[in-house]
């Protein structure tokens, strides 16, 4: 009997102990936690229970282990997101930990402050991307910032997102001279521009890297050591009849934008007929066209993309459809990119030969075309004794003040009906008109000159400073002949 009682008491004790353990396990709290890590860094997490099992959703992102019975460590391995589930000995969940592993943008931001202290650049990490934002002073600085940030990309799938802006708008003025120059003079100055089999050649002083279609059709790009002397002596050569200036267009473009001009014209080409049988015409361009796309690299270096095209009518390629002759076009195109300094020059020659002009014989109005018409009448060009030369000189210029920075004089008072004078201040027009005898006409108030809001200590406005600076870049010492100390400048404000 005693044995039965002892066995029953033992069973009761075991059941009670098991229920106590189960209740304790069920009472162990489970909580959610978020851990943010930098790749290669570690963190520890304390738990309200003893750890038995750990489940990591993506072991490639994070490595997890136990430090003590109730504490684990998490190491960020690569950029990404994962979660960690922690269980006790009886399978109850102790924690659900979300882990975000990102790149070390603080180190990148510190590096940007160290190497670019004057720039307002911010680096952030978004998932596996480095995002650069802010304002930089020049495109060259932007390239260097991108190069530095790319060194912090540590794994595959990571990208660099550039949201930076270049402060202000870098503008480039292209001073273009279109000349007819005697071949003997060009050779004397060491500038070889001979035309052989359709060669298009380019020469330049202070020309740096060249890329793209550097052959210009079948020709080549050469560095003309005498180009600077030739450019400086154009006026003297022109006075002796050795150089004839055909056009001098000035083109201004924002860095990265395209400017261009066409020396030629358009001719009608029948393309179709409408429902009433009338011929529909489309005008095609022909002549010499140049397009420039400057990109400012630094304060004195410019990368410039040049695109040239020469086209003329080619009767040998004409097509006749339903009694209508459609002339063909002979077209030559070339593209190249050169890097040069502000104020240096490049020269393009060999764009046009006398055979091209002969093909335009009989076309009405050819002699009146700009550039083409003057060459058409040139006997020297017809005998291949002269050459069409285009000299391009880029200058970095500063934009003038924004319109909102310019103060415009207030409008004049309204005029009285039948009078040349304004109405007296504060008197309605109807009352003033009735009292014209009592108030004699008042002379119109003088209109003040348009001036900038801020004037320096020397009395010079920012508009004048910017204008004079650009004039000095283009004309050098001769700028002071055009701009005096007391000179005034007018500006059109929209």
Reported as a pLDDT band with limits 50, 70 and 90, residue 158 is confident
Q: What was the pLDDT predicted at 400?
A: 55
Judge: domain 33-102, CATH 2.60.40.420.
no
Q: Which of 446, 442, 393 is nearest to 416 (CA)?
A: 442
Q: What was the pLDDT predicted at 406?
A: 45
Q: What was the pLDDT predicted at 281?
A: 81
Q: Could you give the residue range(s) of every CATH 3.30.1340 domain in the chain?
A: 105-166
Percent of the chain with pLDDT over 70: 52
Q: What was the pLDDT predicted at 305?
A: 86
Q: What was the pLDDT predicted at 118?
A: 83
Architecture of domain 105-166: 2-Layer Sandwich (3.30)
Q: Which of 60, 63, 83 is nearest to 75 (CA)?
A: 63
Q: What was the pLDDT predicted at 327?
A: 73
The count of C-alpha atoms lying within 13 angstroms of the C-alpha of 84, restricted to the half-sphere facing its C-beta, is: 30
Q: Are strands 406-407 and 451-452 parallel, antiparallel or unpaired?
A: antiparallel
| Residues 205-261: tens digit of each pLDDT | 444 444 433 333 333 333 344 455 555 556 666 665 667 777 777 888 888 888 887
Q: What was the pLDDT predicted at 223?
A: 37
Q: What is the mean pLDDT of the chain?
A: 66
Q: Which residues contact 359 (CB under 8 A, 6 or more apart)?
A: 312, 313, 314, 315, 330
**Which pairs count as long-range contacts for 209-215, CB under 8 Å and 24+ apart, including other chains?**
209/337, 209/338, 209/339, 210/336, 210/337, 210/338, 210/339, 211/336, 211/337, 212/305, 212/335, 212/336, 212/337, 213/334, 213/335, 213/336, 214/336, 215/334
Sheet of 159-166: strand order equals 120-126, 129-136, 159-166
Q: Which residues contact 355 (CB under 8 A, 6 or more apart)?
A: none
Q: Could you give the residue range(s) of every CATH 2.60.40.10 domain in the chain?
A: 33-102
| Residues 286-335: tens digit of each pLDDT | 777 888 888 887 777 888 888 877 777 777 777 776 676 777 777 777 77
Q: What was the pLDDT predicted at 37?
A: 85
As a dihedral over the C-alpha atoms of residue 458, residue 398, residue 247, residue 182, rounded to 10 degrees, the angle is 90
Q: Are 268 and 365 in contact (CB under 8 A)?
A: no
Structure tokens at 245: 């200036």
Q: What value does the mean pLDDT take over residues 40-62?
A: 87
| Residues 261-293: tens digit of each pLDDT | 777 777 787 777 777 878 788 888 777 788 888
| Residues 442-482: tens digit of each pLDDT | 444 443 343 444 444 555 555 566 666 666 666 565 555 54
The count of C-alpha atoms lying within 13 angstroms of the C-alpha of 56, restricted to the half-sphere facing its C-beta, is: 18
Q: What was the pLDDT predicted at 257?
A: 85
Tell me how far CA of residue 298 lies from CA of 141, 165, 345, 396, in angstroms.
Answer: 8, 15, 17, 10
3-state secondary structure of 469: helix
User: Which of the two residues, 92 and 336, has the higher pLDDT score?
Assistant: 92
DSSP assignment of 154-212 equals -STT-EEEEEEEESS--EEEEEEEEEEEEHHHHHHTT------TT--EEEESSEEEEEE
Residue 7, phi then psi, degrees to nearest 5: -65, -40
3-state secondary structure of 459: coil
């Amino acid at each position: 009997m005693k044995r039965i009682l002892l066995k029953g008491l033992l069973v009761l004790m075991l059941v009670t102990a098991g229920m106590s353990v189960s209740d304790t396990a069920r009472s162990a709290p489970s909580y959610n936690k978020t851990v943010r890590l930098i790749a290669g860094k570690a963190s520890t997490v304390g738990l309200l229970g003893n750890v038995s099992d750990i489940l990591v959703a993506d072991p490639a992102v994070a490595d997890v282990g136990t430090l003590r019975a109730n504490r684990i460590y998490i190491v960020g391995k690569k950029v990404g997101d994962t979660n960690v589930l922690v269980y006790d000995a009886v399978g109850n969940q102790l924690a659900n930990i979300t882990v975000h592993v990102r790149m070390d943008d603080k180190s990148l931001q510190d590096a940007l402050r160290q190497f670019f202290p004057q720039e307002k650049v911010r680096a952030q990490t978004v998932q596996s991307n480095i995002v650069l934002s802010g304002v930089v002073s020049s495109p060259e600085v932007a390239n260097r910032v991108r190069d530095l940030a790319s060194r912090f990309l540590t794994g595959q799938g990571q990208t660099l997102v550039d949201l930076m802006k270049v402060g202000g708008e870098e503008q480039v003025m292209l001073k273009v001279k279109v000349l007819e120059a005697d071949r003997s003079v060009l050779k004397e100055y060491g500038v070889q521009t001979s035309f052989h089999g359709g060669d298009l050649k380019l020469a330049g002083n202070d020309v740096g890297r060249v890329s793209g279609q550097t052959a210009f059709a079948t020709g080549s790009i050469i560095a003309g050591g005498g180009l600077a002397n030739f450019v400086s002596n154009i006026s003297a050569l022109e006075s002796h009849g050795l150089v004839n200036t055909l056009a001098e267009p000035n083109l201004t473009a924002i860095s990265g934008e395209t400017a261009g001009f066409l020396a030629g014209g358009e001719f009608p080409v029948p393309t179709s007929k409408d429902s009433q049988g009338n011929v529909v015409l489309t005008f095609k361009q022909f002549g010499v066209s140049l397009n420039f796309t400057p990109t400012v690299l630094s304060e004195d270096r410019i990368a410039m993309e040049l695109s040239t095209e020469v086209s003329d009518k080619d009767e040998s390629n004409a097509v006749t459809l339903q009694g209508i002759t459609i002339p063909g076009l002979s077209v030559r195109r070339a593209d190249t990119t050169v890097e040069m300094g502000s104020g240096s020059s490049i020269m393009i020659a060999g764009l046009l030969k006398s055979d091209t002009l002969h093909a335009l014989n009989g076309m009405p109005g050819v002699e009146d075309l700009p550039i083409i018409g003057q060459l058409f009448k040139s006997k020297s060009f017809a005998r291949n004794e002269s050459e069409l030369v285009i000299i391009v000189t880029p200058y970095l210029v500063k934009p003038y003040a924004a319109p909102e920075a310019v103060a415009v004089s207030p409008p004049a008072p309204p005029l009285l009906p039948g009078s040349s004078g304004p109405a007296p201040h504060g008197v309605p027009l109807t009352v003033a008109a009735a009292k014209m005898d009592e108030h004699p006409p008042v002379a119109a108030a003088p209109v003040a000159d348009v001036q900038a809001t801020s004037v320096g200590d020397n009395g010079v406005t920012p508009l004048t400073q910017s204008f004079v600076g650009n004039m000095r870049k283009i004309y050098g010492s001769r700028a002071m002949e055009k701009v005096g100390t007391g000179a005034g400048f007018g500006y059109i404000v929209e």
